[in-house]
Structure 1
């Protein structure tokens, strides 16, 4: 085990260094900072984030291009004890991804004690063919003494290839982590074109941005009950120039949840639409008109027909 605490990119442009390309993923219990870390590394909003656990539902690939490497990051849902058919399918998705990547980063928050969930996931990934790197996240939230204590505890958990403390918020040690992940990739030619930062379908990314906006400020039970389906995306000409017209449906499981998402007099839904439209405009680099509707699909998380319609 080695601990990565500083980085030196000198020599990264050296043509004698073999080109490496491959897949890496961050794993960990829900809300360990995996999606925020993915976005920080790619430098763009690839994965949605929320302070609610189990936000991520789709496997999203973000692609980082460097002179001598191409790191493809896969953002997976957090492994959790499933209570619904959706939960079971998300866990299956996680394990399938683990079996196919070259490097796994186990994310452990610096501001929380190591718990049974961390140890369970550590045991789950111990037998993988991939190299396992421990990533101590959220270092900006703790003192140096607390961080050193957590690094010691992580070191005693398992025989990790390396341990890297990082802060996705401040950017501290992000480049070091990228160096560590990249050096464990196989020698390989480039796998994706230079201008590609994700292979996630555009409609899925739009739906995720709408869902992120809908997750803000709702009660604890709603994040697991909200899904978004993009019904149509049209190009239209207006007096102000071209724009994208997007029709989206937000699905919840009960009429009471629909009322929460819409808000009094539609006030909350308007806020959701404004937030989502701004992020979608950045994603598409275009003017956007967003048409939002809220639908009730009773117990959709347990219904195979609804899960298929919603892309799970």
Structure 2
């Protein structure tokens, strides 16, 4: 195969919170590289997942959901998305099949419009996610509504859960990539540092089954990842930050029962990630109103 037979580049997944972006990223890559949650605004970082094919290498960038921000954190997450959009080769606009097109979708469509008309035109593919959750007539109606929302390069219905048209969506995205060489070694699925992936796995476990107020108030920072001298176990120490004492109680649970569940759930994913047995040490701390405090946001990595 000559260099000109191979395509490579970056695709950014955008959409309003809880549109299925992280789940779709994992389905396209074939492995879990982005945390998923039924709660909106779960993603805090851009996670790169890498799709390897003989004829192409597609690097997926999963971003936080674009939304009208109410906090400084929200403003910074939106800035992160906009900065990412300016650097990719193709954009995937995710709209769920089971929710009518609404103000949030129209807001994002207006943000994407300049990309399709500027001097450096970026293709935008509309992916109608969660297509398995609706009937054929409802899906057709949603596809028409999405097509009317903007002048998209392609509109593709897809379901990450049952694999419906995941390969077809990959084919569409690859067609929009420029010709280019392999960017990452074969077999590498993400370029995120281990500490970031560990923090995301802990945060996903902590968000499981909690009340609505907590997801936006939870930040996770890995203190250290240290192999023991015998090489058999890795000590992983992680701090979970919340904004109020009441939230600390939610995370810890009665007698520490819930924090133990979080540790058990997260440890499985971390051991798979690191390929070793892990001793996971979790600590919950209060950082009052950190979402609105520039100094604390900086310390927490935002």
> Is the contact made by 2:237 and 2:281 (CA closer than 8 Å) also made in structure 1?
yes
- What is the CA–CA distance in structure 2 between the aligned matches of 1:48 and 1:218, rounded to whole Å? 16
Match of 1:283 among 248, 261, 273: 273
User: Aligned pairs, how many?
Assistant: 297
Q: Secondary structure at the match of 1:305?
A: helix
Residue equivalent to 2:172: 180
> Is the contact made by 1:103 and 1:181 (CA closer than 8 Å) also made in structure 2?
yes
Return the TM-score normalized by structure 2. Answer: 0.96
Name segments (4+ residues, structure 1) moved above 2 Å: 14-17
Q: Secondary structure at the match of 2:301?
A: coil
C-alpha change, 1:92 and 1:16, in structure 2 (3 Å) is closer
> Is the contact made by 2:10 and 2:59 (CA closer than 8 Å) also made in structure 1?
yes
- What is the CA–CA distance in structure 2 between the aligned matches of 1:69 and 1:299, rounded to whole Å? 45
- What is the CA–CA distance in structure 2 between the aligned matches of 1:122 and 1:28, rounded to whole Å? 9
Residue equivalent to 1:34: 21
Residue equivalent to 1:101: 88
Q: Map of 1:1-312 to 2, 5 A cutoff? A: 18-128=5-115, 129-237=121-229, 242-312=232-302
> Is the contact made by 2:3 and 2:179 (CA closer than 8 Å) also made in structure 1?
no
Return the TM-score normalized by structure 1. Answer: 0.93
Segments of 5+ residues of structure 2 without an aligned counterpart are 116-120
- What is the CA–CA distance in structure 1 between the aligned matches of 2:8 and 2:71, rounded to whole Å? 36
Q: Secondary structure at the match of 2:32?
A: coil
What whole-Å deviation, never above 9, does each CA across 1:152-200 have from its counterpart, x for those lacking one?
A: 1112221111111000000110000000001100111111111321111
Residue equivalent to 2:118: none
Moved more, 69-78 or 191-200: 191-200
> Is the contact made by 1:17 and 1:68 (CA closer than 8 Å) also made in structure 2?
no
Q: Secondary structure at the match of 1:153?
A: helix
- What is the CA–CA distance in structure 1 between the aligned matches of 2:268 and 2:159, rounded to whole Å? 26
- What is the CA–CA distance in structure 2 between the aligned matches of 1:279 and 1:31, rounded to whole Å? 22
- What is the CA–CA distance in structure 2 between the aligned matches of 1:223 and 1:157, rounded to whole Å? 30
How far off its partner does 1:97 sit? 0.4
- What is the CA–CA distance in structure 1 between the aligned matches of 2:89 and 2:224, rounded to whole Å? 36
Q: Secondary structure at the match of 2:144?
A: helix
- What is the CA–CA distance in structure 2 between the aligned matches of 1:16 and 1:93, rounded to whole Å? 32
C-alpha change, 1:193 and 1:113, in structure 2 (3 Å) is same
How far off its partner does 1:303 sit? 1.5
C-alpha change, 1:149 and 1:267, in structure 2 (3 Å) is same
> Is the contact made by 1:132 and 1:160 (CA closer than 8 Å) also made in structure 2?
yes
- What is the CA–CA distance in structure 2 between the aligned matches of 1:152 and 1:300, rounded to whole Å? 42
The structure where helix makes up a greater share of residues is 2
